[in-house]
Copies of this chain bind each other. A is one copy, B any other.
Amino acid sequence: MPATDHKTTTPRLLLDVRKMQHNIERMDTRIRGLEAAIRPHVKTCKSIEPARRMVREASPGITVSTLAEAEYFFRHGFTDQIYAVGIASGKLDRVAGLIAEGLTLRIIIDHASTSGHVCGRAMRLGCSFPVLLEIDADGQRGGFAPDDPALTLLAQTLERSGCTIAGVLTHMGASYHCRDRACLVEAAERERRAVVEAAEALRRAGFECPIVSAGSTPTARFVENLDGVTEMRVGTHVFMDLVMAGLGVCEVDDIAISVLCEVIGHREHSGEFLVDAGWMALSRDRGTADQEIDQGYGVVCDEKGKPIEDLIVRATNQEHGIVARRDGGPVPDGLVEIGQRLRILPNHACATAAQHAGYHLVGTESGDEDWWPRVQGW
């Protein structure tokens, strides 16, 4: 534990290991039932112990969002990875170095110009980059349309310069904006169709296309058919959060991480309380702002994790959170007092966890408190 991550101070990030285990198992059961594998996205946890629990024998490996994650998980024995951010030309030498050390690190390409950089570097370095082609299922981020003829042309160019076409990949970011189950079921099917259609086009052109990768936690929760998809990339499900609860992906009680804080002040004129968890500890994420229930900067729970009526963190400064009723009214007498410890459930697990050096465990079988570090930076 670094000197700056004190075991007893507030604010600190708690991880309920039992809830995490339950979340992992539920998603496993679901995806196995649809005859696909899970390739966990470790950008949420960024920590070796949760990743070990997410990877089962059937797992093809993991998904990473930074090369710092790639290096960290490689050092811990994860030799099969997808780096699921469109590759920057400035990162190719570092990727080639990791491949030379024995890591199977697949990069993704979503544009012909990027492909040009990759081909040039592959030939100069003599490195056979394994490439996944990104498919745009929703117009939200990047990638090729599934029926874009450029896809096979690009695959041919890449193979000619020595790269390997490992398959296709998509991410249905639009699923986060769904407001009901029907929308999510439809988004999941659209995600499946887009990536399978692209894989079939590549196969018709003679590419094996072994990986057909889709996924987001919301689509993985509601998908009904994974025919043709080889793996689902899911990450947020390990901890869950208020955005997921707002989408109906989980219950609020499933959320495995929270920020422990202390009540440090009371604004008598407004009936609000101050806690020592501001945006530095909670993040600035306001992912529930456009959901049906706006949870502010997070739901306020007692020290054991039980939500306290309708209390949320209404606003934050760097190291202050303001606790109020969701409707803006004063906190009823007797619910909260100065010196009391509270837990705040996060809007967005990835963003809140990113504000901390690691996880203080609760709910472990021995009852011992332990600490799991996170990998940071790029």
Contact = CB atoms under 8 A, between A and B. Distances in A.
Contacts of A269: 139
A132 interface: no
Interface stretch (A184-192, A238-246, A314-322, A326-334): A314-322
Given A65-B318, A91-B9, A110 B378 contact: no
A10 interface: yes
A99 interface: no
A90 B357 contact: no
A350 B316 CA distance: 13
A67 B9 contact: yes
A87 B350 contact: no
Interface string A357-378: 1000000000000000001111
Given A6-B378, A351-B284, A378-B10, A265 B94 contact: no
Given A4-B378, A90-B10, A279 B351 contact: yes
A32 interface: no
A345 interface: no
Interface stretch (A111-119, A151-159, A162-170, A200-208): A111-119
A113, A264, A281, A322, most chain B CB atoms within 10 A: A264
Contact of A284 (B141, B265, B274, B283): B283
A173 B10 CA distance: 23
Interface string A94-126: 100000000000000011011001000000000
Contacts of A375: 4
A323 B268 CA distance: 44
Interface in A52-92: 65-68, 71-72, 85-91
A278 to B, nearest CB: 8
Copies of this subunit: 2
A94 B6 contact: yes
Contact of A264 (B86, B264, B320, B337): B86
Interface in A239-274: 262, 264-267, 269-270, 274
Contact of A114 (B111, B285, B338): B338
18 contacts: A4-B68, A4-B375, A4-B377, A6-B377, A12-B378, A65-B319, A66-B280, A66-B319, A85-B276, A85-B319, A87-B264, A89-B262, A139-B270, A141-B317, A142-B265, A173-B317, A283-B284, A284-B285
B85 A43 contact: no
B10 A88 contact: yes
Interface in A288-347: 317-320, 322, 337-339, 341
A124 to B, nearest CB: 15
B85 A320 contact: yes
Contacts of A90: 8-10, 262, 341
Contacts of A338: 111, 113-114, 117
Contact of A117 (B8, B9, B89, B339): B339
A320 B94 contact: no
